[in-house]
């Protein structure tokens, strides 16, 4: 009988699919930041140089390619960086603490983050970085906003990610989705299933927003959101 670990390793959501720069663009992170989370980072010590081990483990390192689930992990970690910066050492310690206490592997992927597991992780992380009560409240709010943009399956693993388009767009709006089952996991406009990259290619070929909206049965706003998403990074 195949083990659960074998099933997870063969899941298409866990297969190499995205280069580092592409993944960073989709989750709105600087490439250098995502690289440090995936590859690790050196830091100076009193005697020599130390190294922070990576937080995200891609399915392929030569060449470096991330999976859909890695995108989700980076998306969740982004919520800790946006307002408060991120301590790789503290995040790793908080994750290990919560995973050990709850017996959950790869907690950054799991739907349990929406409940007690997420609170345990954030509380431990906030203590480790000595975050004020108001800072912890703000961090929790941002964390929850990021979790609302993930859709999980019956086994509590992610199946869809709704990336942020721009900071101005309401958090509740989800015009674009990344789904490994659609367009090889590239971002698409949900209502038409058309890749956002295709929209930009046609705009760059001097087609009008209005013509594209008519072609795909979409609103002008949706076409503009696809362009903003592709050009925001």
What proportions of the chain, in percent to the nearest 5, are helix, strand and coil? Answer: 55, 10, 35
Mean pLDDT of 20-40: 95
Rounded to an integer, what distance in angstroms lies between the CA atom of residue 31 and that of residue 24? 5
Place 120 in a pLDDT band, splitting at 50, 70 and 90: very high
Answer yes or no: is 185 within a domain: yes
What is this structure's pTM?
0.91
DSSP characters over 158-180: EEEE-----TTS-TT---EEB-T
- Residue 91 belongs to some domain of the structure: no
Residue 1's pLDDT band (boundaries 50, 70, 90)? Answer: very low
Is 195 within a domain?
Answer: yes
- Give the pLDDT confidence score for residue 169 in this predicted structure: 58
Q: How many domains does the chain have?
A: 1
Q: Residue 183 belongs to what domain range?
A: 162-233
> What average pLDDT does the chain have?
91
> Is residue 215 assigned to a domain?
yes
2 within domain boundaries: no
CATH number of the domain encompassing residue 220:
1.10.10
- Domain assignment present for 33: no
Q: Quick check: is 168 in a domain?
A: yes
**pLDDT per position as a tens digit, 51-88:** 888 999 999 999 999 999 999 999 999 999 876 788 98
pLDDT in tens, 86-96: 898 999 999 99
> What is the pLDDT at residue 119?
96
Instruction: Judge whether residue 141 has pLDDT over 80.
Output: yes
Is it the case that residue 4 has pLDDT exceeding 90? no
DSSP state of 152: E
Q: Would residue 153 count as lying in a domain?
A: no
N-terminal to C-terminal alpha carbon distance within the chain: 45
């Amino acid at each position: 009988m195949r083990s659960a670990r074998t099933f997870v390793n063969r899941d298409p959501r866990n297969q190499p699919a995205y280069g580092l720069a592409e993944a960073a663009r989709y989750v709105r992170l600087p490439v250098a930041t995502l690289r440090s989370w995936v590859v690790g980072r050196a830091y100076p010590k009193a005697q020599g140089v130390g190294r922070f081990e990576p937080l995200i483990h891609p399915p392929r390192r030569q060449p470096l390619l991330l999976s859909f689930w890695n995108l989700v992990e980076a998306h969740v970690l982004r919520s800790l960086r946006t307002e408060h910066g991120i301590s790789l050492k503290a995040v790793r310690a908080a994750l290990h603490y919560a995973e050990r206490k709850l017996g959950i592997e790869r907690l950054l992927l799991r739907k349990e983050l929406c409940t007690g597991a997420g609170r345990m992780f954030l509380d431990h992380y906030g203590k480790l970085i000595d975050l004020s009560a108001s800072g912890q409240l703000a961090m929790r709010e941002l964390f929850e906003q990021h979790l609302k943009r993930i859709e999980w399956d019956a086994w509590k693993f992610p199946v869809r990610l709704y990336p942020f388009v721009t900071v101005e767009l309401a958090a509740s709006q989800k015009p674009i989705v990344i789904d490994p089952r659609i367009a090889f996991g590239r971002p698409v406009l949900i209502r038409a299933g058309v890749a956002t990259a295709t929209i930009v290619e046609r705009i760059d070929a001097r087609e009008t927003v209005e013509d594209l909206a008519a072609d795909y049965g979409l609103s002008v706003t949706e076409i503009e959101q696809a362009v903003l998403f592709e050009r925001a990074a």
